Amino acid sequence: MHLDAAAADRTFREEVQDFLDDHLTPELRQAGRRTMGICSPHEASQAWQKILYAKGWAAPSWPVEHGGTGWTPMQRHIFGTELNLADAPMLAPMGLDMVGPAIMGHGSAEQKDFYLPRILAAEDSWCQGYSEPGSGSDLASLQCRADKEGDDYIINGSKIWTTHAQYGTRMFCLVRTS
């Protein structure tokens, strides 16, 4: 059977639209319209991510083996377009777009097994620790250190202007190790 790609894309778009009609509440749409900055208000962003997670759609660009959808680039484009048209809340990028891919590429199997499902399910809220007193956004001048002690690293130093610190249950930060 030959399936026309355009027809498959239309069918997928309709599936996404139906899902949004069924799950995107007026309150979530309002939060999506109020988005300023890198994501929607925290509570709405977390609630929407949990809804997407239940459908298996929280991280469309992730590999299937880590909880991604396996969608084509066109399907990811359609999905993003439909989310925008429906005023869906924007998800916080720290876990899904920054920490998750870093763990996939560089983490141990144990780290992947622990962190990736928690990121997908919005069980943790990640904050970003880059800037330091006296450094601002000059990341080359960072002084905060992570000193190895046995199996652990001990963080010594300060971070300021920590993006999403008020929501963070975990932080990813830039530190010097040598």
Going along the chain from its start, the domains and CATH numbers come out as 5-91 (1.10.540.10), 126-173 (no CATH)
pLDDT tens, position by position, 142-172: 899 999 999 999 999 988 877 888 888 999 9
pLDDT reported for residue 118:
98
Residue 119 has pLDDT above 70, yes or no: yes
pLDDT reported for residue 152:
92
106, two tokens: 């560089």
Residue 4 has pLDDT above 70, yes or no: no
pLDDT tens, position by position, 15-66: 999 999 999 999 999 999 988 777 888 999 999 999 999 999 999 999 999 9
| DSSP collapsed to 3 states, 39-107 | CCCHHHHHHHHHHHHHHCCCCCCCCHHHCCCCCCHHHHHHHHHHHHHCCCCCCCHHHHHHHHHHHHHHC
What does pTM read for this prediction? 0.88
Nearest Cα neighbor of 56 from 82, 105, 19 is 19
